[in-house]
């Protein structure tokens, strides 16, 4: 079955860039997503990328996709304390567009 893996924790200083990594196993993944979860809140969609793209940029967020290595990353430029949250990578395989498969989540801690 599908599997999505992430490192559990990342600590960065305010103003630095953060890079959160994700690997997935399903070669038929069509869309890959990044969700953010703040304490006590639901999962907020940040961005997504099609599997036929290498990169997508959206303001401070840059998503890189290496389809050959099945590796996805989320770069947050100029990280702020408000970016402290858990970031989840998720994927949707071809033909099953409704079900999201999530990674374990990476807790991002931003220090002053």
Partner 1 sequence: EPEVTQTPSHQVTQMGQEVILRCVPISNHLYFYWYRQILGQKVEFLVSFYNNEISEKSEIFDDQFSVERPDGSNFTLKIRSTKLEDSAMYFCAGAVGTASTDTQYFGPGTRLTVL
Q: Are 28 and 51 in contact (CB under 8 A)?
A: no
| Residues whose CB falls within 8 Å of the CB of residue 8, separated by 6 or more in sequence, listed in order | 104, 105, 106, 107
| Least distance to partner 1, CB of residue 73, Å | 19
**By rule CB under 8 A, what string of x and - marks binding of each residue 40-59 to partner 1?**
xxxxxx--x-----------
Q: How far is the CB of 31 from partner 1 (least distance, A)?
A: 4
Smaller CB separation from partner 1, 59 or 98 = 98
Spatial distance between the Cα atoms of 95 and 74, rounded to a whole number of angstroms: 25
Nearer to partner 1, 79 or 92 (CB): 92
């Amino acid at each position: 079955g599908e599997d999505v893996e992430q490192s559990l924790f990342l600590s960065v200083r305010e103003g630095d860039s953060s890079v959160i990594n994700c690997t997935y196993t399903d070669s038929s993944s069509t869309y890959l997503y990044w969700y953010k979860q703040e304490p006590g809140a639901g999962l907020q969609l940040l961005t997504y990328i099609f599997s036929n793209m290498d990169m997508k940029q959206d303001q401070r967020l840059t998503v890189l996709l290496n389809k050959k290595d099945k590796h996805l990353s989320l770069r947050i430029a100029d990280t702020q304390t408000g970016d402290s949250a858990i970031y989840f990578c998720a994927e949707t395989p071809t033909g099953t567009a409704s079900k999201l498969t999530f990674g374990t989540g990476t807790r991002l801690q931003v220090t002053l």
